[in-house]
Amino acid sequence: MAEFLTKIIPNVIKYSGTFYSAIAETFIMSIWAGSIAFVLGLIFGVAITVTKKGSILPNNAIYQSLDKTINFFRSIPFIILLTGVMPLSRLLMGTAIGVKGAIVPLVFGTTPFFTRQIESALAEVDRGIIEAALSMGLSPFQIIFRVYLKESVAAITRATTITAISLLGLTAMAGAVGAGGLGNYAIMYGHDRNMLDITWITIIVMVILVSLIQLAGNSIAKKNMH
């Protein structure tokens, strides 16, 4: 088996240590940036939903501020955002390169997207249920947790799945500026050194990771469908 692998993917075998490190770096970036973006996106998504006109906590100032800020960051291509937030990365993480340096731009690139996904998920909640909760005397915060979030578990799961897959793609793109991970591995060895077996193995690994995320997301969403 070892001889067969050496024959078809010689460079992957030769740089296997770097390959495994790249996978680990991709996981580290995805988990850290994804966790932070999930919390922020959930908070902002709920905030923008409940503060819009006609909702349970209408506040035009907060709504407009969040809406404009989200639109601003969503309009910036990620490859430009990577360099644009370098000073902030240095301030917060002590570096603008490598895995640590990539976390800040990944959060900035993912949070606005996830916020809109959450906004869409919460918009699916039946207005009649919300009105019934209000008539029963539930406070706005009780409605947020007992109605909006509880009724949207499946939709939020789908939103999280889509965002996680998008984030995985962003980690690969971050490799273009030396962030580490599979993207950097594919560029440094597969592209720059013309090692096509490394390029194809990286593609296969990314496809497998995306498929696993999608499978897990579909399974969780299915279990929480009403």
Residue 172 has pLDDT above 90, yes or no: no
Residue 224 has pLDDT above 80, yes or no: no
CB atoms within 10 A of CB 141: 11
Give, in order, the Cα–Cα distances in Å from 37 to each of 34, 79, 167: 5, 18, 10
CA dist 182 and 149 (Å) reads: 34
CA dist 59 and 186 (Å) reads: 47
Alpha helices (H) along 2-59: 2-8, 10-14, 16-50
CA dist 92 and 87 (Å) reads: 9
Residue 64 has pLDDT above 90, yes or no: yes
What is the average pLDDT value for the chain, to the nearest integer? 89
Q: What is the mean pLDDT of residues 207-221?
A: 93
Question: Who wins on pLDDT, 19 or 226?
Answer: 19
CA angle 75, 191, 167 (to 5 degrees): 35
**3-12, 72-81, 106-115: range with lowest mean pLDDT:** 3-12
User: Which band of pLDDT confidence, cut at 50, 70 and 90, is reported for residue 194?
Assistant: confident
Q: What's the pLDDT at 42?
A: 96
Residue 226 has pLDDT above 70, yes or no: no
CB atoms within 10 A of CB 6: 12
Give percent above pLDDT 90 in the chain.
Answer: 50
Q: What's the pLDDT at 1?
A: 66
CA dist 2 and 14 (Å) reads: 12
